[in-house]
Structure 1
Amino acid sequence: MNYQEPLFRPPAKAGSLIFQVAYGCPHNRCRFCGMYKRVRYRLRSEEEVLAEIADAGRRHPGTARVFLADGDCMALPFDRLKRYLEALNRAFPSLARVGSYANGSSIQNRTGEELAALRRLRLHTLYLGLESGSQEVLDLFGKTEQVEGMIEAVLRAQAAGLRLSVMVLIGLGGRALRQPHIERTAAALNRMQPRLLSALRFIPIPGLPFPPGFEPVTELEAVEELHELIKRLELDHTVFRANHTSNPVPLSGRLPQDRERLCRELECELASGTLDRNGPGPLPVEL
């Protein structure tokens, strides 16, 4: 494919064919995210993308999974996104599912009928960053989304048959806003009932300074936060992962049935005395 770097996709999409239908992120103000800071947002030529899809169909006709990049493909004009999905269905007879990053505001700009139409064209999983259920924390880091809007977006998309994978950032509230961050994040997730949930630890991005007065949590406090979050979750049917390289303790399971096991694993780690009480502990080389 004709990729322009940097190119990002969720870990679960490692085996998907990726089409970069836009460059960068249309929002790109979040101070916890460095993914597209050096990329000017712009749509790729529709003719170029359609030709690329047709060519890939000739070369990889058995493709079953596709991911549309970059940062928020739900922000594309509806008719253009629909034409891309139609082209993918023509090019790949075995196409099973298409995924994309999405923001709550972009989902909210779609009608229920539009969301259902995209789902019929095999748009399947949308990856949405809630980050925090605390509006104060989101505002502190420059995320322009509203918590209530993201909750509504997830509910509307799932009602249309789409599957939502929601991400939260452990430690994003710092030491001052730890409790509201965890309490309100759990409350928002309980209302969303996402089918997939990923918890990552907030890692400072070089070149993006902390907000004024922000004091990061320690490695021990981050694991305590994750433990409290899981205890507060009341999810009926969710695949949960906290196995990103940013997490001190890798976890995965299904909620609600694995909640007690996940909590026990974290309690053992908290009691081990190996977690850093004064700093972040070992940080990943790459995120």
Structure 2
Amino acid sequence: MNYEGQICRGPMERSSFMLPVEVGCAYNGCKFCTLFKHLKYRELPMEQIEEELKRVSTVGGNPRTVFLGDGNAFGLSTEKLLAIIERVHVHFPGCEGIHMDATVTDISRKSDEDLRRLYEAGVRHLYLGIESGLDDVLAFMNKDHTLEQAYRQIDRMREAGLIYDAHFMTGIAGKGRGIENAEYTAEFFNRTRPSRMINFSMFLHERAALYEEIQKGTFRPADELENLIEERRLLELLKPWGQEVLYDGFHDMIEFRVRGKLPKDKESMLARLDERIAVEKPGLTAFVK
């Protein structure tokens, strides 16, 4: 596979075949993100996409699920997505679902008919970078949506049959706001009910625009202890919503990860967080790469 940049996708997609359909991210404006800053966004030509499909099918590849990369593949036009999906099914007749990242704005730009056609063609899971349940945090981080817009577009994609999965970040609200962010984010998730939840935790890098805010003193990063406490509070507040939910949480500074199925594993996940919180000591400093 010819791939430009850093591969970043939800851990639930580790068994999916990743098919690049674009380079970079069409939005590329989130203040905390550095994944695509060094890349010039462009759509890959159909000839290149078809060549990759042929390469894999020629050696016997016939994956059940395909993940379209990169940053927000759902932002491609409906017609191009349908053309790609048609070629996927030609080369991979066993494919049962096509998944990709999306933004709230990507969904808003597609009509109800577009969403329905994409579902009927085989699109299933869409991963949305929700990040936080606080509107002021979304605005500060230069996200492309408000909470009300997210509610509306998630309802629309669900009405079409598409499956909503969520990316979010503990620590994104900054030092001293972890519990507040946990409570509002839990409220958002209890209302929108994602089927998969990935907590990437706040990843700080000196090349991110957010680093300038840290230097100016307009953003104070939460340390890992506060991240752990925030994650615990969020999990504590999540309610069963009639379906099994896959949860995976990462932490940047420490080798610790909590994952499981909700609500079945909720108590054991909380217990693991309690154990780790007891190990961590107050006074940790923010870790900036």
TM norm structure 2: 0.88
Distance 1:82 1:116 in 2: 12
Instruction: Name the structure 1 match of 2:185.
Output: 185
Instruction: Name the structure 2 match of 1:254.
Output: 261
Contact 1:133 1:147 in 2 (8 A): yes
Distance 1:123 1:63 in 2: 14
**Higher alpha-carbon deviation: 74-83 or 225-234:** 225-234
Please state how far the C-alpha of 1:85 moved relative to its aligned partner: 0.5
Contact 1:219 1:277 in 2 (8 A): no
Aligned residues: 282
**SS of match in other structure, 1:194:** coil
Instruction: Name the structure 2 match of 1:162.
Output: 162
Pick from 269, 275, 281 the counterpart of residue 276 of structure 1: 281
Contact 1:74 1:101 in 2 (8 A): yes
Question: Which amino acid counterpart does residue 174 of structure 2 have in structure 1?
Answer: G
**Higher alpha-carbon deviation: 226-235 or 243-252:** 243-252
Distance 2:36 2:60 in 1: 29
Give structure 1 stretches of 5+ with no counterpart. none
Instruction: Name the structure 2 match of 1:267.
Output: 274
Q: Does 1:16 align with 2:16?
A: yes
Please state how far the C-alpha of 1:108 moved relative to its aligned partner: 2.0
Map Cα deviations across residues 21-56 of structure 1 (whole Å, 9 max, x no partner). 111101111121111010111111233323433443
Q: Does 1:116 align with 2:144?
A: no
**SS of match in other structure, 1:88:** helix
Please state how far the C-alpha of 1:12 moved relative to its aligned partner: 2.7
**SS of match in other structure, 1:265:** helix
Contact 1:167 1:197 in 2 (8 A): yes
Q: Does 1:241 align with 2:224?
A: no
Quickly say closer, same or farther: Cα 1:2–1:218, change in 2 above 3 A.
closer
Instruction: Name the structure 2 match of 1:217.
Output: 222
User: What's the Cα RMSD here?
Assistant: 2.3
Instruction: Name the structure 2 match of 1:44.
Output: 44
Contact 1:67 1:100 in 2 (8 A): yes
Please state how far the C-alpha of 1:61 moved relative to its aligned partner: 4.2
Instruction: Name the structure 1 match of 2:29.
Output: 29
Distance 2:267 2:282 in 1: 25
Distance 1:41 1:88 in 2: 23
Please state how far the C-alpha of 1:150 moved relative to its aligned partner: 1.9
Contact 1:129 1:166 in 2 (8 A): yes
Contact 1:63 1:94 in 2 (8 A): yes
Map Cα deviations across residues 56-111 of structure 1 (whole Å, 9 max, x no partner). 33333422221111111111011010110011111111112211111111012222
Instruction: Name the structure 2 match of 1:64.
Output: 64
Distance 1:10 1:284 in 2: 23
Distance 1:46 1:5 in 2: 20
Contact 2:10 2:198 in 1 (8 A): no
- Share of identical aligned residues, percent? 25
